[in-house]
Amino acid sequence: MTPSAFSPAVEALGQEMYQLASELFPICRSLTGAGVRQTLQTIGRLIPLRMHEVPSGTAVFDWTVPPEWNIRDAYVADARGHRVVDFNRHNLHVVNYSVPVRARMSRAELDAHLFSLPEKPDWIPYRTAYYERSWGFCLSHRQRLALPEGEYDVVIDSTLEPGHLSYGEYCLPGELPDEILISCHVCHPSLGNDNLSGIALATFLARHVATEPRRYSYRFLFIPGTIGSITWLARNQALVSRIKHGLVLTCVGDAGKPTYKRSRQGSAEIDRAVGHVLRHSGAPFEIQDFIPWGYDERQYCSPGFNLAVGCLMRTPNGRYPEYHTSADDLSLIGPRHLADSFATCAAVLAVLEGNHRCINLNPKCEPQLGRRGLYEAMATAQNARDPQMAMLWVLNLSDGSHSLLDIAERANIPFGLVREAADQLCQHNLLARLTESGEVSQ
């Protein structure tokens, strides 16, 4: 779907997603703590999210749930008491997960704890110290160069204590116990594309799915990156085999073209469904092979699980200069790009939902379509040839072994037309849908 082809409803959704991202932007999120809870509560006003709290120290595979981090204030003040770096001005100023500090030190001592980007002198970098008990401040390079010699008071009013790791989960039952997993991370502070765009899209996708008829059950996860998916997988091993398809959503709000990173399996149904939707979108896109780097797909696709979970992005992590800096703000993402990502996801889910196998009930030579009014039905369509070809392909390949996506791919026709042709043929008793086990469904 090209951006110009949006329905007004999808256009409006883009605005709503952007509004949610704007509301969540100021919150200082981290792996754990009050910022994550506040974020989940805000999402919980839009979808009935179930909150989970996992105690610090819980063993999750080879990892341990970390102590909970909370921060109230942090600053560097000069000798006159003037705050030269202030957490209240931007939450990226403090290295995320910094231990508490209250000290006076020289400019040189302070400098060992400062992080800036000489090549982007106006941007504040985003740094974390999750698993090393350290502290630091991030600031623009210009700001760093302007700090004169002298004594500085350094205060980080944080706590790093036994508490909980929080995550949110929303499950929507469908006809089947088989699940589609949608996962996004909620651990980045004031960053727009990497974090908030994925949260906004997952939230509004969940609302959309809730109003649609569903063959699949759905599970939406709002989790801190890496440790969150590891924790979820460790606590839900018995459920994991239900997950048939999945998407990690991140960096979905910028102006770049859609990028899809395949699952480790490489040609799973989700990989084929996303590829099909993007190929028929009429707009540029990119498809990448799986690599064990990126977001939570690394855990879902670890060999002990090997789930069919890919990652949908626009410009990937690390491939845009604003990535992990204060320039990845609300100006980098836009309602239209969020709407385009939403439309892509909704189209992918429609493929998965409608990807049945059918059986031709009149397989010996072509049935007479004209007698049944099926040629007329096709001729009124906007592009007469594709619907007609879709019908002939569906009849020809519905031998019980080809799915509708197989047929759409082989015919090079958009899935929606193939699905529509199959529905019409079913109505005229020329085709029957097969159940998962291969029986003719009633």
> Where along the sequence are the contacts to Zn ion (CB under 5 A)?
194
Scanning the structure block, which residue is given the tokens 């760093």? 144
Q: What is the rounded CA–CA span in Å between residue 296 and residue 293?
A: 9
Burial of 266 (C-beta count, 10 Å sphere; 0-12/13-18/19+): exposed
Burial 46-78 (b: 16+ CB within 10 A, else e): ebebeebebebeeebeeeebbbbbbbeebbbbb
First to last CA, the chain: 34
> Per DSSP, which regions of 262-406 are E strands?
286-288, 309-313, 357-360, 399-403
Burial of 161 (C-beta count, 10 Å sphere; 0-12/13-18/19+): exposed
Contacts of 400 (CB under 8 A, 6+ apart): 357, 358, 359, 434, 438
User: Based on CB atoms, which residue is closest to Zn ion, 199 or 278?
Assistant: 199
Point out the residue whose Cβ comes nearest to Zn ion.
Answer: 194
Rounded to 5 degrees, what are φ and ψ at 224?
-65, 140
CB of 316 to Zn ion, least distance (A): 11
- Residue 89: which of 189, 196, 193 has the closest Cα? 189
CB of 225 to Zn ion, least distance (A): 7
CB of 191 to Zn ion, least distance (A): 7
CB of 194 to Zn ion, least distance (A): 4
User: Based on CB atoms, which residue is closest to Zn ion, 163 or 316?
Assistant: 316
User: Based on CB atoms, which residue is closest to Zn ion, 132 or 149?
Assistant: 132
- Collapse the DSSP code of 60 into the 3-class scheme (helix H, G, I; strand E, B; otherwise coil) and give the result: strand
Q: What is the rounded CA–CA span in Å between residue 113 and residue 99?
A: 12
CB of 337 to Zn ion, least distance (A): 18
CB of 343 to Zn ion, least distance (A): 24
User: Based on CB atoms, which residue is closest to Zn ion, 179 or 328?
Assistant: 328
User: Based on CB atoms, which residue is closest to Zn ion, 136 or 224?
Assistant: 224
- Collapse the DSSP code of 334 into the 3-class scheme (helix H, G, I; strand E, B; otherwise coil) and give the result: coil
CB of 296 to Zn ion, least distance (A): 11
User: Based on CB atoms, which residue is closest to Zn ion, 196 or 430?
Assistant: 196
User: Based on CB atoms, which residue is closest to Zn ion, 194 or 296?
Assistant: 194
CB of 323 to Zn ion, least distance (A): 7
Q: What is the rounded CA–CA span in Å between residue 208 and residue 345?
A: 11
Q: What is the rounded CA–CA span in Å between residue 59 and residue 74?
A: 31
Alpha carbon of residue 389 to chain centroid = 35
CB of 317 to Zn ion, least distance (A): 6
Q: What is the rounded CA–CA span in Å between residue 401 and residue 357?
A: 7
Q: What is the rounded CA–CA span in Å between residue 162 and residue 55?
A: 7
CB of 324 to Zn ion, least distance (A): 6
| Residue 271 · residue 311 · CB < 8 Å | no
CB of 126 to Zn ion, least distance (A): 7
| Residue 306 · residue 265 · CB < 8 Å | yes
Pure H helices in 25-160: 34-44, 107-111, 141-145
CB of 188 to Zn ion, least distance (A): 6
Q: What is the rounded CA–CA span in Å between residue 203 and residue 205?
A: 5
User: Based on CB atoms, which residue is closest to Zn ion, 5 or 291?
Assistant: 291
User: Based on CB atoms, which residue is closest to Zn ion, 320 or 415?
Assistant: 320
Q: What is the rounded CA–CA span in Å between residue 102 and residue 156?
A: 6
